[in-house]
A = this chain, B = another copy of it.
Amino acid sequence: MKCLIVAAGKGSRLWQRGDVKPLVPILGIPLIERVIRSAVEAGLDDFYVVSGYRGERVRTFLDGLARRCRVKITHVINEAWEQGNGLSVLKARKYLNEHFVLLMADHLFDPSIVHELIRQPPNDGEILLAVDSYTSSPLVDMKDVTRVKIVDGRVSDIGKGLMPFNGFDTGIFLCTPPLFEALEHVMSEDGDTSLSGGVHYLAARGRVKAFDIGGRFWIDVDDPNAIDKAERSLLARLRGKQNDGPVSRYLNRPLSINISRYLARLPVTPNQISLASFFCSVLAAKLFALGNYLALTAGGFLAQFASIIDGCDGEIARLKFQESKFGGWFDAVLDRYADAFLLLGLTWHVYTNNTNKFVVFIGFMAIIGSFMLSYTADKYDSLMRSLTRSPRGIRIGRDVRVFLVFLGALLNQPLPTLVIIAVLMNGEVIRRIFVCREQH
């Protein structure tokens, strides 16, 4: 299915952030790139972008993006961009003979909205408008939003000042060619060159079906305040990672999200962040191994800092559409090495002060237990999934382990820390073996 994106307007309220609105960055990624990458995630790959104001710069950017994203982007030029956006839609008429998705270059959205929308083909002569019926959404600018009135699943009226209303126009459409006829009609009859005008014409004739987005994320980025809201929403969406352990959920994640907010604006890749976190851990291990309390404390803080930073690689990957199988795997491999080095450093610290061979054995059991916990996690989790039940109790993962190391270093209790980790980790592995045995 083809996708038309309107990116011709001037966007004067965003001048202070960049001189072309579609190229204004949101957490390091230009608005129109976010729109196109979200549409790609939803399953689209054939784009028609209408450019107008400073169109040359937009088109140059899009040519590069098409190569990077491996999608087709066709330029549609609207020199009369100062008139309404209905005119921009009409400019693309010759390319669009069937159903197509219509998006705005300045409206961000959850890709799942478009993913579902394109699976709801409209009847002939009708168009589908994605509407948000959560009318008290804090993301909506009540003064500027286009309101809709929905009756029996159809948009009966649409307009900026509309009263009463029970939904918002999200700027996401599934269109059919009759939209072009409606736009031409209102243009020649009423001189109305806006897209809303055409939609209003169809709505009055009962030909606009409403598709409720069910409270999912969307935002119209029109002014600096909206940019701020958009960035905060994108960051907040990172919180819900399912397999976050308790330390990650309540300590690391809130901090790492704030760090990611700044990192997103820099040209660093997720894999570089993984490496940085790994080297912090190695340095922490080296500090542990020095054998004195000051270095131990410093190492503890550095280890916990590395654990926090370790959340940023995945966050940046999600924020900047850079997720990859390799990235996740590379991070996991480095984490295993980092864990082992931290525990070796701690063991070395204890052994320096207490040359009992038993200490080495405890350290070894802590290292092997940590490894085995990670080694059994994949298979245990997939067994649990195949039994379609979620594992019970607290998930003892890397976040908990590093936090124990941090606490142990701070309290100058490295040996008890090693004992606790050895017992907890190996105990959990043995528990998993029994659970799997019982369930199989």
Q: Which of A348-398 contact B (CB under 8 A)?
A: 348, 357, 360-361, 364, 367-368, 371-372, 374-376, 378-379, 383
Q: How far is the CA of A42 from the CA of B84 in the complex (A)?
A: 68
Asked if B372 contacts A326 (CB within 8 A), the reply is no
**A68 lies within 8 A of chain B by Cβ:** no
Which residues of the other chain, B, contact A324 by a CB distance below 8 angstroms? 440
Which residues of the other chain, B, contact A325 by a CB distance below 8 angstroms? 383, 440
Given contacts A326-B440, A436-B326, contact A372 B429 (CB under 8 A): no
Q: Which 7 A-B pairs have the closest CB atoms?
A: A326-B440, A340-B368, A371-B371, A329-B379, A326-B436, A344-B364, A324-B440
Given contacts A340-B364, A371-B371, A374-B375, contact A333 B383 (CB under 8 A): no
Q: Could you name 16 residue pairs across A and B whose Cβ atoms are closer than 8 Å?
A: A326-B437, A326-B440, A329-B379, A330-B433, A330-B436, A330-B437, A333-B375, A333-B429, A336-B368, A337-B368, A340-B364, A340-B368, A348-B357, A367-B368, A371-B371, A374-B375
Q: How far is the CA of A433 from the CA of B271 in the complex (A)?
A: 12
Number of copies of chain A assembled together: 2
The 0/1 profile, CB within 8 Å of B marked 1, for residues 278-305 of chain A is 0000000000000000000000000000
- 8 Å CB contact of A337 from B326, B330, B372, B437: B372
Q: How far is the CA of A206 from the CA of B329 in the complex (A)?
A: 60
Smallest CB separation, A345 vs chain B (Å): 10
Which residues of the other chain, B, contact A337 by a CB distance below 8 angstroms? 368, 372
Q: How far is the CA of A336 from the CA of B325 in the complex (A)?
A: 25
Smallest CB separation, A334 vs chain B (Å): 9
Which residues of the other chain, B, contact A440 by a CB distance below 8 angstroms? 324-326
Which residue of B is nearest A437, CB measured? B326
Which residues of the other chain, B, contact A429 by a CB distance below 8 angstroms? 333
Which residues of the other chain, B, contact A437 by a CB distance below 8 angstroms? 326, 330
Which residue of B is nearest A329, CB measured? B379
